[in-house]
Structures are given as C-alpha cells and as structure tokens.
C-alpha cells in the first residue's frame, strides 16, 4: 500500500513537472497567442472549459498559462470567465502605432483637425477598466482650445467618446456596465439616472454619433463617432473637442463632418484588416 502511494505521488510530481516544462516550451507561446485571439473575439469572456474546448488544450496545462497571464494583467477574471486584461490592451496600442492602417487613421485625424479647426483625438475603449483613453491627438491652433494629453482617461457614461463606444458594445456588456451604477456627473456631482442613460445609448446607437456638452468637463464639449473594423464591436472612436460655446454654434456642421470622416475611416480599417 505504501509503495503504491509513493508511486502515485511520484506520478503526480512527474505530471506537474511535465506541465511546468510545457508552460516554458515554444508550444506554450503559440497557445498564449491562441488565448489572446480567442478572447479578442469573445467580449463577454470564456471559462476554462470553453477555452480548453476551443483551443484543444488540456485544462491542467492551460490553467497554468491562464494564471500567469492574469498575474501579469494580460488577462482579467470575473467569476469563472477570463477576459483580455489591461496589459494586453496597452500592448495592442503600441503595436497599432506601428501598423500601416494606423497611418490611415492619422490621415483622418489630420483631415478632422483641418476642417474643424478644433482639437481632435483617437480614443480607445479599455474594456477591463471600463474607461476610454486618449491615444493620439492633434491640438487646435486656436489660442483658446480644448487641450488634454495622450493617456488621459474619461468615464464611459458622460464623455462623448465613452458613450459612443459603450453604445455599440454587446447588449450583455452594456447591461453589465449599467449594473455597476450608481454613476455621478463629474461636473455637478449628481447621480445619473440609469433609465435616461439607457435611452441615450439607444439613440446614440441609431445615430452613430454621441455629443457631450459640458458633461465630462465643465465648459468643454465633444462629439464622437466609432471606428468599425472587421470585428462587430468597435474599440476606437474619433473625437472632436472644443470650448462649449464654439461647439454649440457649429454643432450641426460638426455632426455632418465627423459622420462623413468616421464612415471613411471605418471603411479604411475594414479594408486594412481584410
């Protein structure tokens, strides 16, 4: 009996050693990329069992990789589901900066800046932290202008870029976000009514444009539209930002401008991905 127990323990140690070696092997690198690719197509995340089935990998060795990726913030967990984390989001932004189709987006930013005369931004949704981040900017040349640097963040529920990206996520993701209420206005401090926000998101989804008039920053305004690529849920949006009074006076023309440029930017991104 003691001999059998010792053999079983040795067998368990041997299996653990094999799994540890596998986690360090080149095959594990391919498996990590497979995890990222699979989860990028699953905004609501996947369980260990689901990932194992999709990737055709044993749960034991896959779990070791998942734990390491969560610890490094390349993945995040909510309950039993795994999602892409903030670290892979930041890495993707760095990779995107060097891709040819990023230059196409830069061209559209330059067009928006020239035609609007205002500051323009490329913004990105961080699904893990549930915020929107400014990832590229061309500042207005006007003496009085809206100016905030790359890396600035805004909440989804009040900013133009945040709400336009939020509105175009899956219904399940939107409801999960809304269930994290209460939300407060950063300008007034008042609690935002969830039913009003849900109605606003439906309107934005239909119009394809979101407007913020002194809602995220007092005295400032923004108008945003999403950039669609080959995926069904946008991660990036174009934003025009200006002092409140100038945006109010030119709101109609700004809406037409960003809708037109945003459509062409989406077409370019779909073509680049294709």
pTM > 0.75: no
So what's the pLDDT on residue 11? 43
In the chain, the number of structural domains is 2
pLDDT digits (tens, 9 = 90+) for 28-46: 778 888 898 888 777 678 9
Residue pair 190/184 in contact by the 8 Å Cβ criterion: yes
So what's the pLDDT on residue 212? 94
In whole angstroms, how far apart are CA 181 and each of 76, 79, 109, 165, 191?
21, 19, 33, 18, 9
Residue that is last in its domain, among 84, 107, 122: 84
Do 13 and 137 have their domain in common? no
Do 161 and 49 have their domain in common? no
Do 56 and 165 have their domain in common? no
pLDDT digits (tens, 9 = 90+) for 99-134: 554 567 888 999 999 999 999 999 989 888 888 988
Do 79 and 171 have their domain in common? no
Residue that is last in its domain, among 33, 67, 84: 84
Do 67 and 112 have their domain in common? no
So what's the pLDDT on residue 98? 47
Q: Which domain holds residue 175?
A: 88-273
CATH code where residue 233 lies: 3.30.450.40
Alpha-carbon torsion (132, 135, 138, 143), positive or negative: positive
Do 152 and 189 have their domain in common? yes
Q: Peptide bond before 182: cis, by omega within 30 degrees of 0?
A: yes
So what's the pLDDT on residue 103? 67
Do 130 and 234 have their domain in common? yes
The pLDDT > 90 percentage for the chain reads: 46
- Compute the mean pLDDT over every residue in the chain, rounded to the nearest whole number: 84
Residue that is last in its domain, among 54, 84, 114: 84
pLDDT class of 270 with cuts at 50, 70, 90: confident
Do 26 and 103 have their domain in common? no
pLDDT class of 273 with cuts at 50, 70, 90: low
Higher-confidence residue: 17 or 46?
Answer: 46
Do 186 and 131 have their domain in common? yes
Do 63 and 123 have their domain in common? no
Do 93 and 77 have their domain in common? no
């Amino acid at each position: 009996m003691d001999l059998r127990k010792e053999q079983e323990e040795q067998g368990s140690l041997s299996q653990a050693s094999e799994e540890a070696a596998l986690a360090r092997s080149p095959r594990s690198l391919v498996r990590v990329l497979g995890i990222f690719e699979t989860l990028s197509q699953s905004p609501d995340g996947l369980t260990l069992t689901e990932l194992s089935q999709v990737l055709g990998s044993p749960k034991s060795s896959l779990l070791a990789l998942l734990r390491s990726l969560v610890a490094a913030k390349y993945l995040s967990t909510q309950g039993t589901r795994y999602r892409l984390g903030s670290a892979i989001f930041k890495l993707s932004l760095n990779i995107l900066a060097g891709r040819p189709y990023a230059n196409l987006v830069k061209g559209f930013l330059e067009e928006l800046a020239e035609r609007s005369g205002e500051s323009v931004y490329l913004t990105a949704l961080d699904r893990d932290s549930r915020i929107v981040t400014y990832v590229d900017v061309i500042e207005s040349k006007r003496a009085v202008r809206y100016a905030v640097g790359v890396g600035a963040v805004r909440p989804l529920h009040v900013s133009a870029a945040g709400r336009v990206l939020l509105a175009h996520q899956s219904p399940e993701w939107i409801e999960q976000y809304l269930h994290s209420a209460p939300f407060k206005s950063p300008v007034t401090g008042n609690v935002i009514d969830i039913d009003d926000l849900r109605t606003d998101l439906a309107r934005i989804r239909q119009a394809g444009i979101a407007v913020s008039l002194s809602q995220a920053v007092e005295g400032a305004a923004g108008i945003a539209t999403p950039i669609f690529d080959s995926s069904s849920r946008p991660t990036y949006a174009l934003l025009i930002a200006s002092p409140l009074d100038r945006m109010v006076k030119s709101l109609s023309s700004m809406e037409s401008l960003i809708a037109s440029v945003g459509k062409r930017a989406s077409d370019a991104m779909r073509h680049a991905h294709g």
